[in-house]
Structure 1
Amino acid sequence: MNQLARFLLLLALLISTKTRVVAALRDPLDRPNFVLFFVDDLGYGDLGFTGHPTTSTPNIDRLAWNGKTLTTWYSGCALCSCSRAALMTGRQYPRTGIRQVLGTVDDLGLPLEEVTIAEQLKKVNYTTGIVGKWHLGQRLAYLPGNQGFDYYLGIPYSDDMGNGKQTSCPGNKAEDPTEPVQEHLKGKPIPPPDGDYAAWYLPLLYQEHNKTRIIEQPLDLTKLAQKYNRFATKFIEDNKDEPFFLYFPFNHVHTTSGNNDKWDTMPNRQFASCELKNRTKRGAFGDALAEVDWMIGNVYETLQRLGLEENTMILWTSDNGPATPRRFDAGSYGIFSGEYAGYPWTGKASTWEGGIRMPAFAHWKGQIQPFSRSSQTISSMDVFPTFSHLAGVPLPSGIVLDGRDMADILLQENGQSRHDFLFFYGFCNGHWPRTGVTAVRHGPYKAHFCTSPGLGAGHESMTVHYNKYPLLFNVEEDPSETFPICDGNTLPENDPDARAAIERILRAYAMEKATFEYGKIPPLPPGPGEGKGHYGVCCNRSTNCSCESLWDDNFQSRLFTVGSEEHHARYHEYLGEENHMKRAT
């Protein structure tokens, strides 16, 4: 073979594998990519890899089995906004001032003084993107673009906080009650007392470098997953050569609301695309979960295709336990049933294991041992310090971080938890803000200082405070919290280890209460167009926040060249801006 032929052959090989060559030249530990999946209201018992008999989650299961299953992962809170505040900041949610679920027209949000994971990674030049549910404030000042994210596509709160469309699918009758069609919404919900009609319809937002556009209002839930999927895969494709952080907090599998507020009796309060409706053995919830699995599979296939597996850590978990009163429309807490409670509401909004102990795994080809697992205590708050460590960025100074670096647990066979006492703040006081310490995990023990039912119970008489000793379980031996070692009244006589643990727990509990500082959200002045009755996301108030969708093939083709200079120029041209920002380098 002559010299020219050899040169042409080498050139052809380089062209055909150029993305993998780029990835191979980068040290996997040098600012690795991070993909963080955060499913909404998914319980421990909902996945194939945690034992559900009819769930269809092959992509999730495959990633879990080829990574490390994390069997003792606790959410930062048993409710939506609070769990996300803890995840994003690495801090107990009451420290941030977020003490409740944020509504569609609230003037509050995650304080801008808080440092998010995205802001932390921006310090070392990560490109940051989020697709899905934000739920840390819907005002422009509080949206992801002001919290460290370069790109955002999603619903700024839960999908039951307004009406969305569910278009009919081929072969389905529109009048079928299991296939509600809301293209022409009737029986519109009553607006909140301040008259902000933005609460009527779910919006789909797009942000690029803090420039915001409402793409749809009301959005089409039937087609939402395709948009999320396209955005996520294109974000990876367009940022493959430099480190990126993709945060994917799914709106699935939270139940929807529609026009009928009787969510506890109306069937099939879930949504999925036409390709996945009525395709699983588990009904509408199973279809929605299968759609999550489909999106995750496509994200991972994109990482594989671009040769980014060895440069990318994937974390997967849920925000809180299932909304058990919603029955078949909600998830399952599996073995974390809280049998001792004597009531079925031990999921979402409770600090029983079913409300805060989440399914989770970590996957990183070449760094995390396949088919491994750890029962070490982990918190969602640990993500912030762990990503900081792996990205090589110092932790912020002058703030209290409650999360602990869990890199040793993920990357080593016998890594140990750095949580001696992991406190859980929750909802036992019977009124907002219900943010006191309710429980703590210490070694194999879980101690409750008060217990109450979760979402939808409404029975204040079921709240119990343990003022003498805590209600104590060994959750390594008794994960269903069925057989208490201490009932709160008398110390265990024949268990010196448990007695000693209770003494340590009481000392730590007293210290936690004495030193904990509750945060406040500094008020922000109204921005352009904001004010009383005008804090919600609204495309056009003259039409009561209902607008024709911008989502057509032309807009999609321009939107999903995310990250390119052409996209950046076209996007700002579309917004009518002559002097648009240059893309950060």
Structure 2
Amino acid sequence: MNDPRRPNIVILYADDLGWGDLGCFGADDIPTPHLDSLCRDGAKLSQWYSNSPVCSPSRASLLTGKYPAHAGVEAILGGTRHTPGLPAQATLASQLRDRGYRTGLFGKWHLGADAAYAPSHYGFEETFGFRAGCVDYYSHIFYWGGHNPVHDLWSDDDEVWRNGEYLTTVIGERAADFITRSAPSGPFFCYVPFNAPHYPMHAPAEHMERVAGLPEGRRETAAMIAAMDDAVGEILRALEESGTRDDTLVLMSSDNGPSRESRNWLDGEEVSYDGGSSGGLRGSKGSVFDGGIRVPGLLSWPARIPAGSELDQPGLMMDVLPTVLHAVDGTAPEMSEVDGVSLLDALCAAADVAERPLVWTYEGQYAVRRGRHKLVVEAREGMDPPAVVDRALYDLDGDPEESTDISAEAPEVVVALERDLAAYRASAATWSRELESA
């Protein structure tokens, strides 16, 4: 068994999974027993956020510990085989590889489809999955955008074909196999970015039958989440059978809130993918309201983190890198180049996280949160314009639905948050100049 001071790391990352789409976060219509077990056996991150309301920037923040603008990915990246991606820099995978970890990625990359930006260039020694933003779950073809369809399934740097195999299941099997093979020599880092429940809405018949009583739309989403939960079960079983479960830090989250996007279907019909749930939060994918950025978060490390605990202080995906390296090294890393902070002490000993401003931006929208207060600027309800709120201040403790603007009652809070936002914008301008000159 591996030294508990050097835990194995498993990160499970869903795609477009809403804050209200897991049983442990209040969904009573979707069977997620394996993910719920992570909540029962570890910590529920009830104030957990992605760094962006869309996918590529969120993934960049997870792997680099930086805001999207600092990492160099602020928009959804394309899917042709010439699409560039994440600028060259250290990642969680390269940091762990340098510390002697075996590193593997199984699932969705979406940080550059060009071969020069493949995961192998960012610290991953073994990879299986696809490089674009989404694929057909059975043919593994990327159909979207103004170009011909592109087959997109890779094992390391070799294109492979698994026609007719449901990708969520295959991802789980490949990740579990990596754990089984890596455990004897350990430690290992297994990154599993599922594409579920991102469109297209494909699910096996057995999972559709499991949620047969749900209405159309919710049923397909629920079936896809249930299939992902089964794949998570395979991964957790591999940890148990290899004797590494207690000494493995398992994090589960999502890249952004639920999708309300529409895509062309047969005969030009527009179909909205609206089966995900934000759990009553305002907004959806593409929005800086909490429904677009607040996501389920679970963290289990039986050797260190008390079972059934809860972190009810805000955290973001950019905090994962420093938190994981703190767990691995035994001391909090001094990393002036990252924007996240370690949350390990708060998770293990219920310590407070120092209050800090947290900022989100996407396509002209801004949001900044400090403590209980959140200011939004030019905020949309989802992916598409127009903005529905020009500027508003919310008290998230008393109004998590962001329904009542209190800026007139708390002008001093607005001024403070505007100052925080101005400081972020100044930093973003500096990051942009540095990236351009690199």
**The two structures share one fold, judged by TM-score above 0.5:** yes
Contiguous gaps of at least 5 residues in structure 2? 263-271
Aligned to 1:504: 416
C-alpha distance in 1 between matches for 2:309 and 2:414: 32
Alpha-carbon spacing, 1:475–1:238, altered in 2? closer, same or farther (3 Å) = same
Contiguous gaps of at least 5 residues in structure 1? 1-22, 167-181, 257-269, 338-345, 430-437, 493-497, 525-585
Among candidates 380, 384, 388, match of residue 452 of structure 1: 380
Offset at residue 453 of structure 1 (A): 3.0
Among candidates 242, 252, 263, match of residue 316 of structure 1: 252
Aligned to 1:202: 151
Equivalent residue of 2:17, what SS?
coil
Aligned to 1:177: none
Aligned to 1:107: 83
Equivalent residue of 1:387, what SS?
helix
Q: In the alignment, is residue 408 of structure 1 matched against residue 345 of structure 2?
A: yes
Moved more, 98-107 or 349-358: 98-107
Equivalent residue of 1:46, what SS?
coil
AA in 2 matched with 1:127: R
AA in 2 matched with 1:242: G
**Larger Rg, first or second structure (1 or 2):** 1
* Alignment map for 1:346-385 (pairs within 5 Å): 346-385=283-322
Alpha-carbon spacing, 1:515–1:232, altered in 2? closer, same or farther (3 Å) = closer
C-alpha distance in 2 between matches for 1:191 and 1:325: 14
AA in 2 matched with 1:223: Y
Aligned to 2:359: 423
Q: Report if the CA contact (8 A) 1:351-1:424 is conserved.
A: yes
Equivalent residue of 2:133, what SS?
coil
* 1:396-443 CA-partner distances (Å, limit 9, x unpaired): 86x63111111112211x2222341111122226xxxxxxxx011101
Equivalent residue of 1:276, what SS?
helix
Q: Report if the CA contact (8 A) 1:69-1:374 is conserved.
A: yes
TM-score, normalised to structure 2's length? Answer: 0.89
Q: In the alignment, is residue 478 of structure 1 matched against residue 389 of structure 2?
A: no
* 1:232-276 CA-partner distances (Å, limit 9, x unpaired): 1111111113111110100111011xxxxxxxxxxxxx1233442
C-alpha distance in 2 between matches for 1:423 and 1:189: 33
Aligned alpha-carbon RMSD (Å)? 2.5
Aligned to 2:204: 273
Aligned to 2:30: 55
Aligned to 1:78: 53
C-alpha distance in 1 between matches for 2:37 and 2:237: 12
C-alpha distance in 2 between matches for 1:463 and 1:336: 15
Among candidates 249, 259, 273, match of residue 193 of structure 2: 249
Among candidates 128, 137, 159, match of residue 214 of structure 1: 159
Equivalent residue of 1:247, what SS?
strand
* 1:5-51 CA-partner distances (Å, limit 9, x unpaired): xxxxxxxxxxxxxxxxxx1xx4312x210110110000001111111
Equivalent residue of 2:70, what SS?
helix
Offset at residue 502 of structure 1 (A): 2.8
Query: How many residue pairs were aligned?
Result: 419
AA in 2 matched with 1:479: P
C-alpha distance in 2 between matches for 1:477 and 1:129: 42
C-alpha distance in 1 between matches for 2:40 and 2:47: 16
Alpha-carbon spacing, 1:155–1:523, altered in 2? closer, same or farther (3 Å) = farther
C-alpha distance in 2 between matches for 1:111 and 1:97: 6
AA in 1 matched with 2:322: P
AA in 2 matched with 1:303: L
Offset at residue 61 of structure 1 (A): 0.8
TM-score, normalised to structure 1's length? Answer: 0.67
AA in 1 matched with 2:398: E
Q: In the alignment, is residue 230 of structure 1 matched against residue 173 of structure 2?
A: yes
C-alpha distance in 2 between matches for 1:389 and 1:507: 31
C-alpha distance in 1 between matches for 2:145 and 2:400: 43
Aligned to 2:267: none
Aligned to 2:8: 33
Moved more, 149-158 or 321-330: 321-330
Among candidates 109, 133, 140, match of residue 115 of structure 2: 140
Offset at residue 304 of structure 1 (A): 1.2
* 1:341-362 CA-partner distances (Å, limit 9, x unpaired): xxxxx10011000000011111
Aligned to 1:124: 99
Aligned to 2:221: 285
Q: Percent identity?
A: 30
Q: Report if the CA contact (8 A) 1:405-1:418 is conserved.
A: no
Which one has a larger percent strand, Structure 1 or Structure 2?
2
Equivalent residue of 1:324, what SS?
coil
C-alpha distance in 2 between matches for 1:441 and 1:164: 37
